[in-house]
Structure 1
C-alpha cells in the first residue's frame, strides 16, 4: 500500500505480492516456492521492522525452519538503529515477548 509509492518515486519496477494479516497463510507457501526457484524477495513493512509486531514474523519463521535450512534459503536483514532487533527479525524466534535492556 505504501511501498508502491516509494518504488514508483525511484522508478523501481518490480512485482509486488501483498502479505498482510488476512492473507498471510495463503501466501507463505507461494513466497517460499518462489525463493526455492532462486527468486529474490524483499520483505518490506510500512512502519517498523518486518517480522516485529506484524505478519512478517510468521513468514520468517517458515523460511528459517528446518526445511528452509536444507534448501539454503538465505534471509539477510537490513539493520536500522538496533542490531538486536535486526537479528531478531530474521531469527525465526517468537517476537511477541522480546525485551531489550541495553
Structure 2
C-alpha cells in the first residue's frame, strides 16, 4: 500500500530544509517491519510543493508503526510544523491496473 501526503512550504522556507528533516525521520521509520521505501517528489512549476509517497507491505504494517510513535520522529515532525502545511492525501492500494512499455 502507499501512504501519500503533500507538503507545502510556508513563504521563505526552503524545501531543502524540509527534505533534510524528512530524510532523518524516514530513515528511522523505514526500520519498521513492513516498510518498503519512501520517495519525496517536487511539483513541476511549484518548487515549494512536495509529494511524499511511502510504500508498505500492508496497511496493517503501517498502522502498527503508527500505533508506536517514536519520540525522535515525533520531535522531527513537530520541529517542521511551523514551516510547512501537510495534507494527507490518503492510503492507496498497489496498482490494480497498469501499462508498462515493452522492453
TM more than 0.5: no
Greater fraction of residues in strand: 2
Greater C-alpha radius of gyration: 2
Greater fraction of residues in helix: 1
TM-score relative to the length of structure 2: 0.30
